[in-house]
């Protein structure tokens, strides 16, 4: 009985996350349509990448900065998922058969829901349910958004382009829970402003992504210890 209620809780939480992500995916579909990508290109991004931040980065840069800059920026933004996969697998030790799919689903949301759970069995169950439902709703939302983009006016006139900036800001603010995060975000912001002013947006984005991945926490610890 306890396992039944625990499974219900895991599924309901995973479902709520999946639905929320699906709404964001609708916006991605709209923006991808506006950027000139075809339906199959848009769906391929959502199916094979499954990293919202990287997908938005690629689509927003593709039309203005070219495919090379878009790919580099998208890979840098999504590089953290490789770290998630290694970290999570060091704990769960999944089988070799499921490892590729496990790595594919190792993203922000699945890491966030599974890592705080102490029981490995429950944590892994939460990981799978969240990942599978999220991937499903992300692809469905992308499809709906793209089709809606064919019937709606320009997203610029609707204000959705500005809305994406606000959405990104909200996501970032939710991640600030300690001093290290605050310093990292501040340094990244200043890097973006300086590089953007000197060299343009594409170099600023790539430079900022590199700075954001630096082990800033080591410098903070050094400063405290000294």
Domain chopping of the chain, boundaries: 2-158, 176-226
Q: What secondary structure letter does DSSP report for 45?
A: I
User: Is 189:211 a contact under the CB 8 Å cutoff?
Assistant: no
Q: What secondary structure letter does DSSP report for 163?
A: H
Low-confidence residues of the chain: pLDDT under 70:
1-6, 153-181, 201-202, 215-226
Q: How many beta carbons lie within 10 A of that of residue 14, not counting itself?
A: 23
pLDDT at residue 133, as a whole number: 94
Q: Please name which of 82, 119, 124 lies closest in space to residue 103, comparing C-alpha atoms.
A: 82
Q: To 5 degrees, how large is the angle CA 26–CA 210–CA 107?
A: 40
What does the alpha-carbon distance between residue 106 and residue 115 come to, in Å, rounded to a whole number? 11
Q: Please name which of 188, 181, 191 lies closest in space to residue 220, comparing C-alpha atoms.
A: 181
| Token representation of residue 48 | 């094979």
| Helices within the chain (DSSP H only) | 2-35, 39-44, 52-65, 67-78, 80-92, 99-104, 108-114, 120-149, 155-158, 160-175, 179-199, 201-212, 216-225
Q: Express the helix, strand and coil content of the chain in percent, nearest 5 each.
A: 85, 0, 15
Dihedral angle of Cα 135, 88, 54, 150, to the nearest 10 degrees: 0
């Amino acid at each position: 009985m306890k396992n039944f209620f625990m499974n219900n809780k895991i599924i309901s939480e995973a479902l709520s996350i999946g639905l929320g992500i699906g709404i964001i995916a609708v916006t991605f579909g709209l923006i991808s349509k506006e950027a000139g990508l075809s339906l199959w290109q848009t769906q391929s991004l959502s199916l094979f990448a499954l990293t919202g931040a990287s997908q938005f980065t690629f689509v927003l840069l593709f039309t203005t900065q070219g495919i090379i800059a878009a790919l580099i920026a998208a890979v840098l933004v999504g590089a953290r998922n490789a770290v998630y996969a290694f970290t999570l697998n060091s704990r769960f030790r999944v089988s070799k058969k499921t490892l590729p799919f496990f790595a594919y689903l190792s993203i922000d949301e699945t890491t966030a829901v599974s890592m705080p759970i102490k029981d490995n069995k429950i944590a892994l169950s939460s990981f799978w349910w969240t990942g599978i439902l999220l991937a499903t709703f992300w692809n469905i939302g992308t499809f709906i958004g793209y089709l809606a983009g064919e019937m709606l006016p320009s997203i610029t006139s609707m204000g959705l382009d500005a809305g994406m900036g606000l959405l990104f800001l909200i996501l970032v603010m939710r991640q600030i829970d300690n001093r290290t995060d605050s310093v990292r975000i501040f340094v990244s912001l200043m890097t973006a402003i300086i590089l953007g002013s000197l060299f343009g947006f594409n170099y600023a984005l790539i430079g900022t992504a590199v700075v954001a991945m630096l082990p800033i926490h080591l410098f903070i610890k050094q400063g405290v210890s000294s």
